[in-house]
Amino acid sequence: MEDVLANLAYGFSVALTPTNLILVAVGGLFGTIMGMLPGIGPATGIAVLLPMTFSMNPASALITMCGIYYGAMYGGSRSSILINTPGDGAAIAATFDGYPMAQKGEAGPALAISAIASFIGGIIAVVVMTLLAVPVARFALKFGPAEYFSLMVFALSATAAISKGNLIKGLISMLLGLMISTVGIDLQSGVPRFTFGVLELQTGIDFLVVIIGMYALGEVFKFYESIDVSSKLRTTKFGRIWVTREQWRRCVLPILRSAPVGFLIGVLPGAGGTMASMVAYNNEKQLAKEPERFGKGAIEGLAAPEAANNAASVGALIPMLTLGVPGSGTTAIMMGALMMLGLKPGPLLFQNNADVAWGVISSMYVGNIILAIINIPLAGLLVKILAVPPKILYPIILGLAFVGTYTLNYSIVDFYLLLLFGLVGYFMKKLKIPTAPLILAAIVGGSMEQSFRQALTLSDGSLKIFVSSTISIVLLILAALSIAYPFVIDLMKKKKNVSASE
Amino acid sequence: MRFLRKRSVGLVGVVVLVLLVLSLAGCSSDNQAGEGKKDNKEAEYPVKPFEFIAPGGPGGGWDTTIRTVAKVLEDQKLVSQPMPVINKPGGGGAVGLAYMQEKKGSPYHVIVYSPPLLLINLNGSTKLSYKDLTPLTRLIMDYGIFVVHPDSPYKTINDVMEALKEDPKSVKIAGSSSPGSMDHIAFLKAAKAAGVKNLKEIEYISYQGNEGLAQLMGGHVDLFSTGASEVVGALESGDIRALAVTSAERIGAGKLAEVPTLIEQGINTTFENWRGLFGPPEMPDYAVDYLVAALIKMVETDQWKEMCEKNGWNEAFLGPEEFLKFIEKTNEEYKEILREIGMLKQQ
Amino acid sequence: MSSNLIVGAAACIIGVIYTVQAFYLPKAPIGDPLSPIYFPAALGIIMLICGLGLLLTEIKKGVYRNKEKGKTHRKNKKTITLITLTVAFGLIYAFIFERFGFVISTTLFLGAIFFLINGKRKWTINIIVSLVFSGSIWYVFGKLLGISLP
């Protein structure tokens, strides 16, 4: 314990130098802006700003990159809340209740709680990381293909189950997403599937194209329905930016519950922020006393995924820093950059480059505080976006959607996919099919199938491998429960009604 | 609140300023015009900016290589025109290859490739091959490494090969790319040289990115085949143990230098993950000569050597003719292995 | 027709087409040759079952809802025209993007969209916003961030 404190104190002496303070702030602001643009997430942000960090010393370079990384996490949900267009996968869950809040004229509190929840989630995660980084990383190693498969089954079934109104429609949406994920070269056998001879499809359909298409374009198409009336319908009064005591009270527990969940999911290589925020949202909805408020602007439905998502982004750094195994596309780029700076991420990083390792951990505290300070006043500026007449705003969203899509793969093929998914998204909304299961399935579907087959190769074809570890069994039970839970609740309510009417 | 807002506006101003300064600094490198005015275009070349192409996304191996080359050439003023890098990812490099066909005969396009250039043709992903490019120079090499869990019963690479000879399904091999690509071929090449018969039956599990390393550390797979520079950190810390590197002689420093080569252990083969530059098909000779001359000067600079060391690249310069011969030879080797495991689908 | 019926029918069609396509997928050269096919085939079949399930429950309920005509119909028509035009512009945009370069094609595309939804009367605003947008995005991406746009 004393060791940790001494190290941390040393870390702060690195992180609090004026240069590093400015760098983390600049990186954070930059990341926030990048995160708000559709399609440009932390990975692109860091990749394009990489050359600037070459001339810095390793600690400063990593601190800047981390700033961009969290900044993008904070920023991603801004556009979810304001215009129903998530900046990246992890921000999807923020549209569920964040956008309805903005429509009710509560954009200010929504932006504020998302910043606060992100902040608390981030800080909780950093504290856990400070104390337990190495044991947590060791725990993550226990996840083999079988455990990953069970985890993804759990996340998917929980998401399909929240569309309780019609489970079949939720399933159809999920199946569509899984179908999208089968496009491209099959990793286990190397054969192309559903690519129809198009080279660009061999790497698969980028799930960000699906998200941008279904949300940004879908939103524009939906706007067309109300094009003649909408200008009068929009709220132009934004009210206060801060949250009320009552709103805060609703959010405290969800935030505190979601942060550890998000952190743990984030630590697992390959799972990531999207899954963390979806699982947190589903948890809260199932635990809620009035689940029917969810999806209609429940503030805790926004706070929970935001806390989880930020905690996950901290968690994702652990395998990279302690094991040298990057857990996500973004951390992989960061690791590449570290190696170019002459560092070797891994357990020895903490011994050989203590200034870097502890400087970075300390800068996470500082970075989260700075980002909260940047983002809360920024909320006041950002709500003004809603004052832009929709007939100007929506074409601009359209333009940004195309630019964002192009920067993903520099390919025109993605434009056609974007238009296609825009239409799919619009018709799914019209036909009242939930879109969240599709998106989550499109993101995790590929690795779910691969994990399943990897596990079977390892076990020489025996399905027993999925029930041979405690972790896997627990996850599968949770998956079954999450499907059954809504029905059990219904049944109990019916019983209650019956006995009440007797 | 208002105070904060003012401050945040001020902050935005500062950021914009910082960025402007940085971008100006980035642009200030001088663009000298071609020396002397002669009337044929060969003598004036290059008169307009180049286009450097990475056939993969930002941050990947191809991208870092070509960006480093462009930066060193520009910093050392070896090329008088700007060299912006563009990304053409997709199809494991096949999209970039198709793009180069559109630029046939252009003296201003340069692309980077490595073994997948050969493999995507051999496994049938694309009809185009290295023959549809003009080789310029080979620049660097990385080598394959085979690592196991520290508690693994396999002490040497020969233990693994013996086990495979007895039961080809007994050792689960993992790699970071799909079957028939580099990590897989690297291992099969070694197995073949060691006399393992049923190459086709060896179980190979592919993981995305570097996930395979975590899977090995967690004890889920038996052996992980990857690039040597990817595992230096884990090797130094003792989280993994290396059985062999695929280079002809030992490489690197520290723990990596202690890893024996395949040849030392009686398995007479090597596997090289080379990276080199190519022009479009029918690139004019004067352009090839100009670029090769500039690259020869580049690899001698301290800046290039320093970048290689930072990235863990081994310098491996070859001029156009030797490079072509090298490619032809490796292409035959890959072909043989792919044929043996039934993945050869060359069109 | 109720929305559930449409969804059910669509799911059946997608399920059938996808399953058939799945069986035409290439076989794996090493290991179990059918391994790339099992998962897609299962997806297609489950999709078909879900679609049928939805259809059956709807038919059992009976198709009695025949409401909302007239006004909503006209409104729908306008929406569909707008969406079709936007998609058409998008396709043209994709076609000219790499040929004309980012700034010209984006200005044209945005301009077209603006005229479509903001009306012809406000043409000054339309043109100014499209120009400023394309110009500033090009500058920020191309020059400041080093992301090359054509």
| Residue B162 falls inside a structural domain | yes
| Residue B12 falls inside a structural domain | no
pLDDT on residue A192: 85
| Residue C77 falls inside a structural domain | yes
Tell me, yes or no, whether C48 and C112 share the same domain: no
Residue at which a domain ends, from B272, B304, B326: B272
Nearest-CA distance B321 → chain A (Å): 30
C113-146 tens-digit pLDDT: 998 888 777 888 888 889 998 988 888 777 666 6
Comparing CB atoms, the residue among B84, B180, B204 nearest residue C148 is B84
| Residue B127 falls inside a structural domain | yes
Tell me, yes or no, whether B259 and B277 share the same domain: no
Residue at which a domain ends, from B272, B295, B327: B272
Please determine, for residue A293, whether its predicted confidence score (pLDDT) is greater than 50.
Answer: yes
Chosen for mutation from B17, B201, B215, B306 (greatest number of chain A CBs closer than 10 Å) is: B215
Chosen for mutation from B1, B2, B8 (greatest number of chain A CBs closer than 10 Å) is: B8
Euclidean distance between CA atoms A357 and A344, whole angstroms:
11
pLDDT on residue A500: 61
Tell me, yes or no, whether B234 and B150 share the same domain: yes
Tell me, yes or no, whether C55 and C75 share the same domain: no
Tell me, yes or no, whether B136 and B119 share the same domain: yes
Tell me, yes or no, whether B130 and B279 share the same domain: yes
The percentage of residues in chain A with a pLDDT greater than 70, rounded to a whole number, is 94
Tell me, yes or no, whether B219 and B204 share the same domain: yes
pLDDT band at A106 (very low <50, low <70, confident <90, very high): confident
Interface membership of A459 toward B (CB under 8 Å) = no
Q: Find where tokens 């401050």 sit.
A: B7
Residue B296: other Cβ atoms inside 10 A? 13
Please determine, for residue C147, whether its predicted confidence score (pLDDT) is greater than 70.
Answer: no
Nearest-CA distance C67 → chain A (Å): 16
pLDDT on residue B6: 40
Euclidean distance between CA atoms A237 and A212, whole angstroms:
28
| pLDDT beneath 50: ranges in chain B | 1-39
Please determine, for residue C70, whether its predicted confidence score (pLDDT) is greater than 50.
Answer: no
| Residue C150 falls inside a structural domain | no
Nearest-CA distance A233 → chain C (Å): 17
Binary contact (A194, C25; C-beta < 8 A): yes
Nearest-CA distance C69 → chain A (Å): 16
Domain count, chain C: 2
Residue at which a domain ends, from C40, C61, C82: C61
Lowest average pLDDT, out of A29-33, A40-44, A381-385, B211-215, goes to A40-44
Q: Are C79 and C94 in contact (CB under 8 A)?
A: no
Highest average pLDDT, of A358-362, A383-387, B184-188, B235-239, comes from B184-188
pLDDT on residue A239: 59
pLDDT on residue A3: 75
Tell me, yes or no, whether C18 and C54 share the same domain: yes
Interface membership of C98 toward A (CB under 8 Å) = yes
Residue C30 per-residue DSSP state: S
Residue B80 per-residue DSSP state: S
CATH classification at residue B170: 3.40.190.10
| Residue B22 falls inside a structural domain | no
Binary contact (B200, C144; C-beta < 8 A): no
- The closest of C44, C25, C45 to C36, measured between CA atoms, is C25
A175-204 tens-digit pLDDT: 999 999 999 888 888 888 898 888 788 888
Q: What is the ipTM of this complex?
A: 0.90
Tell me, yes or no, whether C107 and C132 share the same domain: yes
| Residue B21 falls inside a structural domain | no
Interface membership of C27 toward A (CB under 8 Å) = yes
Domain count, chain A: 1
- The closest of A321, B330, A388, B272 to C133, measured between CA atoms, is A388
Tell me, yes or no, whether B154 and B246 share the same domain: yes
Looking at per-residue confidence, does B14 or C86 come out higher? C86
Per-residue HEC secondary structure of B258-309 comes to HCCECHHHCCCCCCEEEEEEEECCCCCHHHHHHHHHHHHHHHCCHHHHHHHH
Tell me, yes or no, whether C81 and C133 share the same domain: yes
pLDDT on residue B32: 36
| Residue C107 falls inside a structural domain | yes
Please determine, for residue C97, whether its predicted confidence score (pLDDT) is greater than 70.
Answer: yes
Subunits adjacent to chain A (3 or more Cβ pairs under 8 Å): B, C
Comparing CB atoms, the residue among A141, A346, A411 nearest residue B236 is A346
Tell me, yes or no, whether B155 and B253 share the same domain: yes
| Average pLDDT estimate for A356-378 | 85
C25-54 tens-digit pLDDT: 888 877 788 888 999 999 999 999 999 998
pLDDT on residue B135: 95
Report DSSP letters for A48-102, one per residue. HHHHHHTTS-HHHHHHHHHHHHHHHHHHHHHHHHHHS--SSGGGTHHHHHHHHHH
> Tokens at residue A322, please?
């302690």
Interface membership of A188 toward B (CB under 8 Å) = yes
Euclidean distance between CA atoms A114 and A251, whole angstroms:
10
Tell me, yes or no, whether C141 and C97 share the same domain: yes
| Residue C122 falls inside a structural domain | yes
First to last CA, chain C: 46
Nearest CA in chain A to B181: A190
Lowest average pLDDT, out of A276-290, B288-302, C13-27, C67-81, goes to C67-81
Tell me, yes or no, whether B257 and B284 share the same domain: no
Question: Which residues in chain C have Cβ-Cβ distances shorter than 8 Å to B54?
Answer: none
Please determine, for residue A45, whether its predicted confidence score (pLDDT) is greater than 80.
Answer: no
Domain count, chain B: 2
Residue at which a domain ends, from B216, B249, B272: B272
Tell me, yes or no, whether B227 and B285 share the same domain: no
Looking at per-residue confidence, does C148 or A260 come out higher? A260
Please determine, for residue A418, whether its predicted confidence score (pLDDT) is greater than 90.
Answer: yes
Contacts of A48 (CB under 8 A, 6+ apart): B58, C145, C146, C147
pLDDT band at A238 (very low <50, low <70, confident <90, very high): low
- Domain span at residue B167 reads 143-272
Comparing CB atoms, the residue among B23, B84, B342 nearest residue C29 is B342
Question: Which residues in chain C have Cβ-Cβ distances shorter than 8 Å to A166?
Answer: 4
Mean pLDDT of chain A: 84
Tell me, yes or no, whether B161 and B128 share the same domain: no
> Tokens at residue B127, please?
């009809």
Classify the phi-psi angles of A204: left when phi > 0, otherwise alpha if psi is within -120 to 50, otherwise beta: left
pLDDT on residue B11: 42
Interface membership of A252 toward C (CB under 8 Å) = no
- Domain span at residue C98 reads 71-145
| Average pLDDT estimate for A330-351 | 76
Nearest-CA distance A272 → chain B (Å): 13
Tell me, yes or no, whether B149 and B228 share the same domain: yes
| Residue C66 falls inside a structural domain | no
Amino acid at site A112: A
Tell me, yes or no, whether C40 and C79 share the same domain: no
Integer-rounded Cα Rg, in Å, for chain C is 24
Comparing CB atoms, the residue among A175, A225, A423 nearest residue C43 is A175
The percentage of residues in chain A with a pLDDT greater than 90, rounded to a whole number, is 19
Tell me, yes or no, whether C41 and C103 share the same domain: no
Tell me, yes or no, whether C44 and C83 share the same domain: no
Binary contact (A269, B312; C-beta < 8 A): no
pLDDT on residue A37: 80
Tell me if residue B142 falls in helix, strand or coil: strand
Tell me, yes or no, whether B264 and B279 share the same domain: no
Which of A:142-201 have CB within 8 Å of C?
166, 168-169, 171-172, 175-176, 178-179, 182, 186, 188-194
Tell me, yes or no, whether C101 and C56 share the same domain: no
Tell me, yes or no, whether C31 and C57 share the same domain: yes
Tell me, yes or no, whether C108 and C134 share the same domain: yes
pLDDT on residue B8: 42
Amino acid at site B24: L
- Domain span at residue A391 reads 2-501
Euclidean distance between CA atoms A329 and A270, whole angstroms:
9
pLDDT on residue A363: 84
pLDDT on residue C109: 93
The secondary element (H helix, E strand) that includes residue B102 is helix B94-102
Comparing CB atoms, the residue among B7, B57, B213 nearest residue A325 is B213
Please determine, for residue A235, whether its predicted confidence score (pLDDT) is greater than 60.
Answer: no
pLDDT on residue B153: 95
